[in-house]
Amino acid sequence: MPCFPDQPVSALASALPTNALVAIVVLAFTAVIAYYISPHHLVNILITAIDAAERTYIDAQGAGLLPAETEILEMFLQLQDKASATIEETWRSSLSWRTSVRDFFRGRIFILMCCIREVHRLETRIKILKESRLRAESSLSPRAIYLRRRSGSI
């Protein structure tokens, strides 16, 4: 059975030199930042964002709040193609560490972040159109709007 000392961990921390503590904190902070801006993490966020935007579009389309042929559909399809190409390039470049480093310095992270931002903007635009169409339907009472929103979100 392991034997734990009676003194807390703070005693161990106080025994270490101050420079070592700072180095450990900086290293941990750098590791966290590197994880959150890594292309693999950003690709997963982009895939999730595209899926959420697609669900939002399908919900609005199914509720009859967006016409079938709109500029939103064209924008969504173009954005989906762009995101797919970006994801494919990122996965392809991640096979080699040299290519990954080169893509990092060429701004692959910023390309992924811009694509994520565009997807979120389109999803927000679809939600705004959906809400405005709901409010524009004067034949519906506020109770019907509430029930329609509730059934669309399930």
CA–CA gap between residue 50 and residue 79 (Å, rounded): 9
pLDDT at 95 over 60: yes
CA–CA gap between residue 6 and residue 110 (Å, rounded): 49
Structural domain boundaries of the chain? 8-37, 38-153
pLDDT in tens, 104-117: 788 888 999 999 99
**Residue tagged 């059934």 (tokens):** 151
pLDDT in tens, 52-68: 999 998 888 887 777 76
Distance, first Cα to last Cα, the chain: 51
Phi/psi-derived region of residue 47, left when phi > 0, alpha when psi is between -120 and 50, beta in every other case: alpha
With bands split at pLDDT 50, 70 and 90, how would you rate the model's confidence at 154? very low
CA–CA gap between residue 7 and residue 11 (Å, rounded): 6
> Dihedral through CA 12, CA 13, CA 18, CA 19, nearest 10?
90
Q: DSSP secondary structure string, 43-102?
A: HHHHHHHHHHHHHHHHHHHHTT-S-SS-HHHHHHHHHHHHHHHHHHHHHHHTTSHHHHHH
Residues 6+ apart with CB under 8 A from 149: 134
